[in-house]
Structure formats: structure tokens, C-alpha cells
A = this chain, B = another copy of it.
């Protein structure tokens, strides 16, 4: 297998970009990544995006990047896999280099959500459920889904809403040092606990926001700087009624297992992780499914501060989806931006001597999960 490395990174600020179009956000992140990589000859473009069609009546993002950045008549693709669109696009770029056809691939992700109403955005996001299922017709939403998981998790373990608040606070404190994050205002357990309820038990701070933003990376054949040690993807059920239980997300577990096997690493070898905290509850389950803590014990690890600097594994040092923001198609790439920055030693909330990092991106109610493991190959 060819070695593949990340040779360029780009990312817009995450937040509300009222006067900047989706296209401009996308091109800005791509240009920054290409510039950082020294403007290599790009052989293909992959763009991760979930709902530019629904919210912006704009598709053909792949062709737009090639055309507007003057990359020539190279092949381009838009990739969709709900909130995992970015992670899946990254994996497609990786596979395309493995195929032997390409040397350098630009992978970008973008979403623009803040220009539409909450109702419109909520409806669009529900396209990540199965239309033919009962639960969608019964009114299930994503906060509803993860709220149900939280209540069940509370029932089966000793966890409570306060443990969720600890996740929210940790990620907010990390975001305060990330100049590109959407939320940088200080908060407290008290404020988080008493915030407006969204879906019991998830309050405002337990839910990732809607966000405008883009992120991009350049992938290159060869071994330099930060190398991809493993790329893995797994599917899960598309309906809650088919779940094995309500405190597991099997696609995370399967994709992690596969990635560890490919890399020859275990969770104990990972120095820093970005994982898909679309809700505080999702982070609690993900630290278990990724193998950092036993099933049903994540809440204790959080209480003991094991997911922060100085603990077992610093989680979401970017601020995560919760506080960095969650422009859906961009999220998977923004996670990789953070992990690669950590391994380069130039990140916000830098983890000392981070050598191996992991990025995990989730789509739907567990329908998709990607796990990528990265290693610093020279310092």
C-alpha cells in the first residue's frame, strides 16, 4: 500500500458568515490548504457536503472548486454521508491515491446553515434519517434521538445531566483558545445546567450549533510530516428500532476496531483524539466505543477529568462540534485539521509531544462512522 500524508491544511473561521457565500467559504479553505502544501499539481478534488442542495440550491461543488481555482480539467466528486460527509470524502481521497491514479488530492468540506430558519435547518438535517421509517413520521429529531440515548444511559449507569455538563464545559474551555471556534465565551456548570431545555435531558449547551464554515486538506503520496496510518469506515442501522441497545453506537466501534487493526495500534497508543460530539451524550458513548473506557464507564472518566490534558486521553482539544461549531460537511475535515495540527506541534491546546492522533466522524443516528489514525513521521 502506498503511504499517504497530509501536506496542507486550510480552514475558515467557524460561525455565522452572513456576507460570504458557500462557494467563497469553500474556495478560501481550499486555497489555504493548497498554499500551505506549496501548490502541488492537484490530480483530483473530493468535497464533503450534506445539504448545500437543500439549504442553498447549490450542487456541483467539486466542479466549482476545480474551475474557480484553475485546477484544470481534473476529476472532482461531491461526497455525502450526512454528518460524516467530511470523513468519508477524506477516505475517498485516500483510496483514490491508493488506487495508483493520483499523487495529490484536495479534500474539502463545507456547509452553510445560518442563513436559514431553525425549522428549515431541522427539516433538512432530518434527511439523515430514513424517510420510509416510522420514527421520522412520528416526529423524531436528532436531539430527540440522542436525548433518548441519554435517558437510557442515565438509567443503566450512575450518570446524570451533570456529567453531560462536564463534557460541554470541557469543550467550551478548549474552544476559548481556538481562534477559529464559534463559541469562545466562558461558561460554568451552573449556566450549562440551567440553560434552556432542547430535548430532555439535553439543554442548549448539550447540542452542537448550526454553523457556516469550511475546511480542507491536501493529501499526497509518500511519507512526510503527518502520515495516515489507517482509514476505516463502518455503517450502522438507519433506524432506532433496529439498534442493538440504546447506549451503543456500533458503527463507531466497528470503524475503530478496523482502524486499530490496520494501524497496528490500540486505543492506549493514541495521544489525542477528535471525536464526533454532536451532542454531549455522543461524546460519552464515543469515548467508550473507541476503546478508551469500558462500556458504561465513560461518565466516570469524565468526572475524573480523564478526557482532558493531564488525563488519559485529551478529547476534542479544538472545542469539538459543541463549541468549535458543526458546519456539517466540513466537520470531518476540521477534526483532521486539529489532529494534524496537534501532531505538528502547532495546535491550540497543544498536547505535549503528541505523536499519534485519531479523528472520528459520525453520520446520521449512527448510520456512518469513519475513523482515521495519523502519525507524526518526523518532528
Q: Evaluate contact between A238 and B364: CB separation under 8 angstroms.
A: no
With A77-B92, A99-B96, A234-B75 as given contacts, are A54 and B56 in contact (CB-CB < 8 Å)? no
Q: Evaluate contact between B91 and A95: CB separation under 8 angstroms.
A: no
In the bound complex, CA of A72 to CA of B235 (Å): 7
Q: Is the interface of A mostly helix, strand, loop or mixed?
A: mixed
Q: A98 on the interface (CB 8 Å rule)?
A: yes
Q: Evaluate contact between B234 and A363: CB separation under 8 angstroms.
A: no
Q: How many whole Å from A105's CB to the nearest CB in chain B?
A: 11
The oligomer's copy count stands at 2
In the bound complex, CA of A66 to CA of B235 (Å): 7
In the bound complex, CA of A92 to CA of B45 (Å): 12
Taken residue by residue from 301 to 333, chain A's Cβ proximity to chain B (1 for < 8 Å, 0 otherwise) reads as: 000000000000000000000000000000000
In the bound complex, CA of A51 to CA of B127 (Å): 12
Set of chain B residues within 8 Å of A235, measured between Cβ atoms? 62-63, 66-67, 71-76
Instruction: Among B63, B99, B238, point to the contact of A67 (Cβ < 8 A).
Output: B238
Q: A50 on the interface (CB 8 Å rule)?
A: yes
Set of chain B residues within 8 Å of A54, measured between Cβ atoms? 53-54, 57
Q: Evaluate contact between A60 and B95: CB separation under 8 angstroms.
A: no
Q: A368 on the interface (CB 8 Å rule)?
A: yes
Set of chain B residues within 8 Å of A23, measured between Cβ atoms? 130-132
In the bound complex, CA of A95 to CA of B46 (Å): 13
Q: A297 on the interface (CB 8 Å rule)?
A: no
Q: Evaluate contact between A126 and B238: CB separation under 8 angstroms.
A: no
Q: Evaluate contact between B60 and A237: CB separation under 8 angstroms.
A: no
Set of chain B residues within 8 Å of A79, measured between Cβ atoms? 77-80
Set of chain B residues within 8 Å of A53, measured between Cβ atoms? 51, 53-54, 80, 124, 127
Q: A19 on the interface (CB 8 Å rule)?
A: no
8 more A-B residue pairs beyond the given contacts A67-B235, A75-B234, A78-B80, with a C-beta to C-beta distance below 8 A: A23-B132, A54-B57, A58-B127, A60-B368, A63-B367, A67-B238, A71-B235, A99-B99
